[in-house]
Amino acid sequence: MNKTQLIEAVAEEANLTKGEAKRALDAFMKVTGDALSSGDKVVLVGFGTFSVSRKPAGTGRNFRTGAPVKIAAKNVVKFRAGVELSAKV
């Protein structure tokens, strides 16, 4: 499912116009991104938890040449599914 399909499904399920559903989804994405970038977790009970984790620097290998490659440390977003979502899947 892509973003357009998600907007259509949310609009139909919540009895909203597509424009309202798009604004709601865009607001959710912005607020979630802002919270994660400031170091907070976003917990949606039953659905799941979004959090940020630090991935340390390391050394990889170029598959073509076999030469070692430095991989920089970075922050990564993690999602852990909640009980209700896990039960549906």
Residue 12 and residue 48 share a domain: no
Residue 56 and residue 18 share a domain: no
Largest CA distance in the chain: 56
| Collapsed DSSP state (helix, strand, coil) of residue 67 | coil
Q: Note down pLDDT in tens along the chain; length 89 residues.
A: 999 999 999 999 999 999 999 999 999 999 999 999 999 999 999 999 999 999 999 999 999 999 999 999 999 999 999 999 999 98
Amino acid 26: pLDDT = 97
Whole-structure pTM value: 0.78
Residue 13 is part of which domain span? Answer: 1-39
Amino acid 69: pLDDT = 95
Determine the Cα–Cα distance for residues 84 and 82; give it in Å rounded to an integer.
6
Total number of domains constituting the chain: 2
